[in-house]
Structure 1
Amino acid sequence: MLEAKFRLTSKNDFDTVKKRGKVFQSENFSLGYYRRRDKGPSRFGFIVTMAVAREAVMRTKAKRGMREGVRHNITQVKRGYDCVLVAKPTIARRYTADVLKEVKDALVAVNLL
C-alpha cells in the first residue's frame, strides 16, 4: 500500500488533474498528470469504474495492480506531480506483472521517471 504522503485523496485534487493536467493513453489505463507549484512528493490516485468490471473482486485486482506498479517505482518518480491512473476495461484480463511493467513504461513515457 502507498504511504499517505504519496496518495491523492481529495476530490479537488482529482478535478485539478482532470481539468489542468495532461493525459497519456496506455493500453490498459490512462495516466493523467499535473505539475504542482510545490516540490513535495508526487501523489497518485486510482480510478476503477464499474465499466471495467461488474465484480468488485476484478475492480480491486485492477486497482491493486496499478497501485503496486506505482509503489515499485515511487522512489524514482520526480517530485511535485499529481497523477491519476484511470483503468480501462482491458485491464481486468491482464496479469499483475504486465500491469507493473505498463505502469513503469507509462511513467517513463511522460518523463516522470
Structure 2
Amino acid sequence: MRRRRILIVEDDPMVALDLEAIVLGATDADVAVANSVKEASRALSEAEFDAALLDIDVLDGKTFPVAHLLAECGTPFAFVSGARREEVPLPLRQAPFLPKPYDPQDIERTFLAGLASRG
C-alpha cells in the first residue's frame, strides 16, 4: 500500500516548513512543497496526491487553477491564506479556509482529521 501524499503550495519558506511539520506530526504521509502555481501543476501531473494545503497568493499568481485541478480529481484541499475568503471563486468556496495566522490545531482538526477518516 502506498503512503499518502500531501501537496503544500506556499511561497514563504518558513510557513511551508511549518505546514510540513504540522502535516508530518499528524500523519505518516509524504509531503511535497511547491512555491508557485507552475511547480504545483507540475507536481500534480507527475504524481497522485491525497490532499493539499494551498496558500492563495504565491510567486506566480493565485492558486485557483491548482484548486480547480484538485476539485476535478476529487482530491480534498484547504486554503491556508492571509487572503480574504471572499476572494475565493464561488465554485471553490466549499473548501475549508484557514486564515493566517493559523492555529496548527485548526489545520489538524478541520483538514487532517477529514483525511484520516477517508481511510
Identify the TM-score tier after normalising by the shorter chain: 0.3 to 0.5
TM-score normalised by L of structure 1: 0.40
